[in-house]
Structure 1
């Protein structure tokens, strides 16, 4: 395919990608749905009349929820029609007025959360990350908990504190236990961390309470993927997580990219699912490939200094697939809705430089992570900006995810 719009070399957003987002401009503060193409956003609301009647209302909405609530065939109609309009020889290329109205430079846009997120669930799907954490805190004989290879472990997170890329995150305060055997203390988190994650939005019709979704059918309920940073207060987490798991250590903020990459754009990068042993229960089985070769990278930019890459990982290291996550989430009859967000958990690889958190990179604070200009870190400091990026590349085709960024602000006095 070839677009009439210039696509810079190595752009995240060629015609084969077309990730969805929600934007506004200074001249028009109304939120509108768009796709990214090269250096531009393509305002779908301004060209909604060029689409089939059945999808027009979804393209005129102020969030992606209505579009997410359509079915797979309708998503395919929107995607193919958008690709046609942005291709050489289309009616859009010939209509100068409409072209100027619908194509806006990304630098002139403010990006917003792509959907109204009703519920958010974070899983724990990277076997290398889970093993690393187990080694640190329980030792090699009990690195993985007995349930880990039988079900996708997860917890329900806080949807209200999910923010779009670029939103600063304030260092949280809370209770910690600096010295075992001594009383806890209250104050700013000292062990603030990032978590490199991939998340996906639920789509399709809302299910009813009591309904279940089999893993083999769950692909119909996955609208698209986005980058995520699940900020974590490790010292607060250590004190509070027993016996019910993450709470305030995770609810100070979760950052996602503004761009939602449709599953169709990622299909050229499908790879074999991670081998699973022992055999999973029937409701978790699926023959469909649903693992992707997505290169991920984390950089830290200290205040006023250059960024340093501290991690390079890949979604291929995820043990549990998104299809299995949906199946397990609903096996009890839990209902899901368009716009719900589900995340992978920290994605770590096999090597030291592929660990997806400072907890692992510094190995619980026993090692220093070197940045540029002689700076070192064990955990994040005030003023640090964390930049997560991701892309797929194969046979000359590159699909990017944009970036997911957030800067650490000091705790309130």
Structure 2
């Protein structure tokens, strides 16, 4: 048995010998010798393990080039790839959320290709602040005194809490203790920020008196959280922003709201269900507002904090800010996206998220009719294919109970429904 095993090991070619095989040397031309040699060593190790466990050579031992190509393909399959979004959800978190505008793509391309004024002021020929240009634009669009940009909204909430209420209580309605994807929970974020949660009210009803009764000498913040990924309906009550702001001022306690998705425009004017806007809460007197850049805003992933200048300056000075700051590409994309909001007549056309959300059902139906003959010609032998009306979701925790009238091309397997549909899904992937 030992001799047999040794014989099997001896049949494994050396890396050098493999590199000189014609079908492998062509791969060296494409990927480089270091890359190919490393993958060949991995295959050798797989072969040794197979011999040790099975006392036999692997099936591919006579075709190392084929095994090598399969290994490379498998490695590259883990990279981020462009796909078609056929989920019926416009802002799909797992598919990257918002598509950004062409002007934002151009802006990113420009700053990627050359040095940029990330932290440099051409006017003063001196060091500047990387958030400044985007912050000024956000202030213009929302009426905020100042703004801060970090890498996502979870970071925005964490940084805001760590700055405003360290070692203090944060008062939040029980019905607003949200959890979003990835088990991100508001109470857990508070712990990481060094705050303690003081929940008030009940799941379905919270009143101003509940907040008032919770205030004590250790209260650091009165907070609302917009339940953007679920809705409580029926016998409900919640505290309005202006009420909370007034209570905060009365007791010299800051107030904040986490909007989550955060729309920069009145969606009802575009024929969509209304969603709270940052400037509404700022006008009501709320001190700080946080929201995402890659949801309803339609920009890159970012967390945005708007509010009182004194608080924003304190947030900018917090040590966590440097750890959570965004790069020049994010700032360039966000700046270009926000500039489109200065042109209300164009934003629903130029910003892909708004364009997709406002797309008429008739237009989607026309596209389905153009595609249908092609699908029927290619897949008609095994599937009954037709056009159906359906409802699409907005997604990414935005307007959870609302849907958009849409159109689908449906496939029904003529035989073996489960296996046929699985085969179709595999084919498309």
**Interval containing the TM-score (normalised by the shorter chain):** under 0.3
The structure that is helix-richer by fraction is: 2
TM-score (structure 2 length as normaliser): 0.21
TM-score (structure 1 length as normaliser): 0.22
Q: Which structure is richer in relative contact order (CA contacts within 8 A, separation 6 or more)?
A: 1
The structure that is strand-richer by fraction is: 1
